[in-house]
Amino acid sequence: MILIKNGRVIDPKSGTDETLDLLIEDGKIAGIGKYKRSNDYERVIEAEGKIVAPGLIDVHVHFRDPGLKYKEDIESGAKAAAAGGFTTVVCMATTKPPVDNPETLSYVLEKGKQTDIQVLSVAAVTKGMQGKELTDFVELKAAKAVGLSDDGIPIQDSRLMYEALKRAKEVGLAISLHEEDPAFVLQAGINKGHVSKALGIGGAMALSEELMVARDCTLALETKARVSIQHVSSRVSVEHIRLAQKLGADVWAEATPQHFSLTEEDALVKKNFAKVNPPLRTEDDRRGIIEGLKDGTIQIIATDHAPHSAEEKSREITKAPSGMIGLETALALGITNLVRTGSLTMECFLKKMTFNPAKLYGLDSGYIAEGAQADLVIFDEFEKWKVEKFHSKSNNSPFIGEELYGKVKYTICKGRIVYEDKE
């Protein structure tokens, strides 16, 4: 048994926010209340002055396995997740080969079972992620895909997207979408404007995202399918999503820490490490995303953890791949840039990283209750630390050298301590 003593327990599902003890036994939360210290416990965690919350859930990660394991693999990705306070992650289908069949999906899930956290996966919407022919949604759901996504590759064919949403609705799976119309992307990764001009890159217009968001919000309204708009980067996109939700569409949206923390101006300093799809945009866009987080239009915070090798990220900016890692900095960036600024309460912030992500994919997790699986994170919201090293295989983070607030002290998954801060 493990006793967590005197922590500030925050459970966004129930609204709990008080100093309590948690008793963990056989992988479950066996009790919530007040318990005396004794020698009966294999471990007593002194959590006074710290927050005890449901284990974080990231519904948008790239672990590069199979096919690109030099960037990241499922084992190293899981270690990075645990260090960041995450007990559950959902892998995207952009592997080599892509997760468009039960065999590849089974490979990912079986490798995930060998890690200390829960590794889940979506499956591709289209075969080979080519945007031409739908995968077998029924077969993939039976093989334990939690959702569907061609993340990284937008589905351009509107009729195919319509058919995909109808079918997804029939089988009860959500579709998560990367929204960038290639017609308005001259070169990916940097917002088109004065910064892209200064860096000598063609850039990607915000219009590329906004057009596809508007289309897919409309299709979601028509089909009544559950749609999640991934990594929203534009204020106008937030407005499209807000309207669709008002009209009754089952549209969800996620924001990444990079899009609520940084702007295109950061690319002038951070260069390739700030190159990401969709791009970092203007300060007005950043504020629009925060407004969407505040009013609930954006229900989820996800990392889009996208590892690349040092060699790849050191290429000239037009040839370097887009993407950044994010699992080990997400909690701290949210605390630093959302909670400490007064934009979100701690409970609201945590809800977007626990209960809401679970709800998107129908997962029985993201909450604290007696009898529930003991997936927990314990962190010090006031501890300041410097971003220097990672458990990920990659280090392509624009936040290296930054000082952030909010330090993960313990991550507990299925009742086991899978990460402990020993610094």
Q: Are residues 189 and 252 in the same domain?
A: yes
Reference 108, options 167, 135, 68; nearest CA is: 68
Q: Check which CATH number belongs to the domain holding 11 and give it.
A: 2.30.40.10
336 band by pLDDT with thresholds 50, 70 and 90: very high
In DSSP terms, which residues pair with 19 in a beta bridge? 8
Q: Are residues 30 and 81 in the same domain?
A: no
pLDDT digits (tens, 9 = 90+) for 249-287: 999 999 999 999 999 999 999 999 999 999 999 999 999
206 band by pLDDT with thresholds 50, 70 and 90: very high
pLDDT digits (tens, 9 = 90+) for 289-308: 999 999 999 999 999 999 99
Residue 386 lies in a domain: no
User: In percent, how much of the chain has pLDDT > 90?
Assistant: 99
Q: Are residues 20 and 142 in the same domain?
A: no
Residue 69 lies in a domain: yes
The mean of the pLDDT values for the chain is: 97
Tokens of 88: 């559950």
Per the structure, the complete domain to which residue 46 belongs is given by: 2-51+371-381+404-420
pLDDT digits (tens, 9 = 90+) for 8-45: 999 999 999 999 999 999 999 999 999 999 988 999 99
Q: Are residues 187 and 40 in the same domain?
A: no
59 band by pLDDT with thresholds 50, 70 and 90: very high
pLDDT digits (tens, 9 = 90+) for 135-166: 999 999 999 999 999 998 999 999 999 999 99
Q: Are residues 44 and 67 in the same domain?
A: no
Q: Are residues 299 and 409 in the same domain?
A: no
Count the Cβ atoms, other than its own, within 10 Å of residue 276. Answer: 27
Q: Would you say 235 and 225 are in contact if contact means Cβ atoms under 8 Å apart?
A: no
Residue 328 lies in a domain: yes
Q: Are residues 340 and 311 in the same domain?
A: yes
Q: Are residues 13 and 107 in the same domain?
A: no
Residue 201 lies in a domain: yes
Tokens of 342: 């007064």
pLDDT digits (tens, 9 = 90+) for 381-398: 999 999 999 999 999 999
User: In percent, how much of the chain has pLDDT > 70?
Assistant: 100
Q: What is the pLDDT, as a whole number, of residue 423?
A: 76
Residue 388 lies in a domain: no
**Which residues participate in catalysis according to the annotation?**
304
Residue with tokens 């008793």: 23
Tokens of 51: 């927050």
CA–CA separation, 339 and 325 (whole Å): 22
Does the pLDDT at position 182 exceed 90?
yes
Q: Check which CATH number belongs to the domain holding 206 and give it.
A: 3.20.20.140
Residue 174 lies in a domain: yes
The DSSP-derived string for 320-359 is SPP----TTTHHHHHIIIIITTTSS-HHHHHHTTTHHHHH
CA–CA separation, 104 and 58 (whole Å): 21
Q: Are residues 47 and 141 in the same domain?
A: no
CA–CA separation, 388 and 402 (whole Å): 8
Contacts of 160 (CB under 8 A, 6+ apart): 126, 131, 132, 134
Contacts of 2 (CB under 8 A, 6+ apart): 23, 24, 25, 41, 42, 43, 44, 45, 374, 412, 415, 417
Q: What is the pLDDT, as a whole number, of residue 347?
A: 98
Tokens of 340: 């400490």
Tokens of 105: 């999906």
Q: Are residues 203 and 329 in the same domain?
A: yes
Residue 255 lies in a domain: yes
Residue 397 lies in a domain: no
Q: Are residues 196 and 126 in the same domain?
A: yes
Q: What is the pLDDT, as a whole number, of residue 167?
A: 98
Reference 187, options 205, 160, 175; nearest CA is: 205
Q: Which one-letter DSSP state was computed for residue 42?
A: S
Q: Are residues 209 and 304 in the same domain?
A: yes
Q: What is the tally of structural domains in the chain?
A: 2
